[in-house]
């Protein structure tokens, strides 16, 4: 496919506000794409070159792109800057300056050129990236240059994600969509999945070492009797307050990759103890689902989430690993020696896990008790709460590994009244700034926003960053509002730790209502507290910044949840 043809589709998508129409345009695009190029077309339509977990980024900042556009058109950088200030979009600038009639570049040509730019590193790479980007733009027609110029800076601005791609690949057929979603959860690489759909090989999707799996999550119920009613025979296990970690290991070459529950890759040096993980595994290769829990070496007890998560800091790893040793609680096995266990019933996965793990100080299989008695669940929940854990996770005995919160396969017990309370109310926060969108959020213009509450000194202090719980439309609406409130300098009433500074500051005008699992102590957020797992409830257009939750009110909420 000529890239100009793809650019024509992208132009239609950019001009289309209707989600249904966007899906139809994408369906038509995919129907007119061959199997050899559909993965590349899919990636480029999202403004990426590979799944986010691969970390393949172009690293071309706006200033560098302006130099490339100037070089491509044989003009001065200042002319590009002048046009950019007026248009506010380097894609539009590239299109307006382009006088080429070149339209013989294929999708594969453009994709390969961008891939080479992304891979280029080391001494002199900045100048080489600029030159390669300029050469690419020279060989494109004006419309194509608009979209190609946006990709390196993550601003394709088309407003859809992998979810819309899946709808389009399914051609609105629910049964096919369900199959695609299942395959995507197992291999969250939308280009690879598109290729399987095109080749009618969707059943071939299985976990792959080095590729994260979309994690299985637990629902919430407050009745043990209801759990038994919905799930039948269950395994009752402790719920740890740690960091969800997926361990990918292969013995023959000592291959080790670590992913978070959000499928972010973590450098193995963050958890140096895992370099010896092979000593605790009786298999050639595995994918383990675990919870990393910090241990207090003096009191020999588990640490809370805030202490455990400090181990993710990339500096002073040796000191933090000795101060906060980790134990990895292993609770599931997704792949062993090339065999997928995704569709294997839980009890069988558990038995296989027990054969493969050598328990000890590094890896430890969660203890469990099988039951269909609600009283057993309640008693174990109270037992684990008294130990300082988060109660129990209840797992259906014959359940497969189903990504997300689908069905009643895994359930967390809601807190029992009088034990350890969760956040009992929502919090009204001021939006203080936002970060640029990356990956699937590039089309939204933003990835997350920084939120705070009123301090006792008429300033606003930070309490959380929010990047989940918003629909596509909410992301787009919020970005439109915030982009109109951007300010180059931090407002003087904001008190923000330098490591939490957003890409863009905004004036103090927008108040949002947030819910969260709980409030925890924070060494970074200037409130001294942080909202754990925050999510947007609604925009509070009826509230002014002065009406935001106060630091005192937040402190009271913290006390209530602990009573």
Which residue in the list 132, 155, 198, 239 is annotated as catalytic? 239
Distance CA 340, CA 344 (A): 8
| 111-119 long-range contacts, CB within 8 A, separation 24+ | 111/40, 111/43, 111/44, 111/49, 114/49, 114/58, 114/148, 114/151, 114/152, 115/49, 115/56, 117/58, 117/60, 117/152, 118/49, 118/56, 118/57, 118/58, 118/59
Distance CA 224, CA 247 (A): 31
Q: Which residues contact 403 (CB under 8 A, 6 or more apart)?
A: 185, 186, 213, 214, 215, 216, 217
Q: What are the phi and psi torsion angles at 219 (to 5°)?
A: -75, 175
Question: Is residue 500 a contact partner of residue 524, using CB atoms and an 8 Å limit?
Answer: yes
**Pair type for strands 448-454 and 427-435:** antiparallel
Which whole-number Å values give the CA distances from 199 to 46, 165, 211, in the listed order?
21, 16, 21
How many other β-carbons are positioned within 10 Å of the β-carbon of residue 513?
15
229 is a catalytic site residue: no
First-to-last alpha carbon distance for the chain, in angstroms, is 63
Question: Is residue 148 a contact partner of residue 166, using CB atoms and an 8 Å limit?
Answer: no
Question: Is residue 336 a contact partner of residue 286, using CB atoms and an 8 Å limit?
Answer: yes
Question: Helix/strand/coil (H, E, C) string of 223-268?
Answer: CHHHHHHHHCCEEEEECCCCEEEEEEEECCCCEEEEEECCCCEECH
Question: Is residue 260 a contact partner of residue 248, using CB atoms and an 8 Å limit?
Answer: no
3-state secondary structure of 544: coil
Distance CA 121, CA 102 (A): 29
DSSP secondary structure, 410-478, as one string: EEEEPPPTTS-----S-EEEEEEEEE---GGGGGGT-SEEEEEEE-TTS-EEEEEEE-SS--HHHHHHH
Question: Is residue 442 a contact partner of residue 465, using CB atoms and an 8 Å limit?
Answer: no
Question: Is residue 216 a contact partner of residue 404, using CB atoms and an 8 Å limit?
Answer: yes
For helices 125-138 and 107-119, the axis angle rounded to 10 degrees is: 170
Closest CA to 287 of 242, 328, 246, 348: 246
Which residues are tagged catalytic?
239
């Amino acid at each position: 496919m000529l890239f100009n043809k793809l650019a024509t589709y992208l132009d239609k998508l950019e001009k289309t506000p209707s989600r249904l129409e966007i899906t139809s345009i994408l369906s038509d695009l995919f129907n007119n794409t061959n199997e050899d190029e559909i993965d590349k077309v899919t990636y480029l339509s999202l403004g990426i070159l590979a799944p986010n977990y691969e970390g393949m980024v172009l690293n071309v900042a706006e200033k560098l792109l302006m130099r490339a556009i100037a070089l491509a058109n044989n003009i001065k950088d200042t002319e590009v800057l002048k046009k950019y200030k007026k248009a506010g979009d380097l894609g539009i600038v590239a299109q307006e300056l382009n006088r080429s009639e070149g339209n013989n570049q294929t999708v594969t040509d453009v994709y390969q050129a961008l891939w080479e730019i992304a891979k280029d590193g080391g001494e002199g790479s900045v100048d080489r990236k600029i030159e390669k980007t300029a050469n690419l733009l020279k060989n494109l027609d004006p419309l194509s240059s608009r979209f190609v110029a946006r990709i390196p800076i993550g601003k394709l601005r088309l407003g859809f994600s992998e979810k819309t791609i899946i709808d389009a690949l399914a051609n609105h057929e629910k049964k096919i969509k369900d199959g695609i979603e299942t395959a995507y959860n197992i291999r969250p690489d939308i280009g690879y999945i598109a290729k399987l759909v095109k080749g009618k090989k969707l059943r071939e999707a299985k976990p792959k070492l080095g590729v994260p799996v979309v994690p299985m999550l637990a629902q919430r119920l407050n009745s043990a009797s209801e759990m038994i009613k919905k799930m039948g025979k269950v395994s009752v296990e402790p719920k740890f307050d740690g960091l969800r970690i997926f361990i990918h290991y292969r013995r023959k070459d000592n291959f080790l990759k670590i992913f978070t529950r959000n499928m972010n890759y973590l450098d193995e040096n963050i958890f140096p103890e895992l370099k010896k993980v092979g000593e605790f595994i009786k298999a050639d290769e595995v994918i383990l689902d675990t919870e990393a829990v910090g241990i207090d070496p003096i009191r020999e007890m588990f640490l809370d989430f805030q202490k455990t998560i400090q181990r993710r800091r990339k500096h002073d790893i040796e000191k933090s690993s000795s101060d906060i040793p980790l134990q990895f609680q292993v609770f599931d096995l997704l792949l062993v020696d090339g065999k997928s266990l995704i569709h294997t019933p839980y009890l069988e996965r558990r038995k296989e896990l027990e054969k493969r793990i050598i328990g000890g100080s590094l890896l430890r299989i969660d203890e469990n008790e099988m039951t269909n008695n609600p009283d057993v669940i309640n008693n174990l929940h109270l037992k684990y709460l008294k130990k300082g854990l988060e109660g129990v996770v209840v797992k259906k005995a014959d359940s497969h590994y189903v990504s997300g919160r689908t069905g009643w396969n895994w359930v967390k017990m809601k807190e029992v009244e009088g034990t350890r309370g969760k956040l009992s109310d929502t919090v009204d926060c001021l939006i203080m700034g936002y970060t640029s969108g990356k990956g699937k959020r590039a089309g939204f213009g933003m990835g997350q926003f920084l939120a705070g509450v009123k301090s006792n000194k008429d300033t606003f202090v930070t309490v959380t960053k929010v990047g989940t719980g918003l629909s596509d439309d909410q992301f787009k609406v919020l970005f439109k509002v915030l982009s109109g409130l951007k300010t180059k300098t931090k407002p003087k009433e904001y008190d923000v730790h330098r490591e939490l500074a957003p890409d863009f500051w905004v004036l103090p005008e927008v108040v949002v209502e947030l819910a969260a699992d709980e409030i925890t102590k924070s060494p970074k957020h200037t409130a001294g507290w942080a909202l754990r797992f925050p999510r947007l409830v609604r925009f509070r257009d009826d509230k002014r910044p002065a009406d935001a939750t106060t630091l005192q009110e937040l402190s009271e909420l913290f006390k209530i949840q602990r009573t």
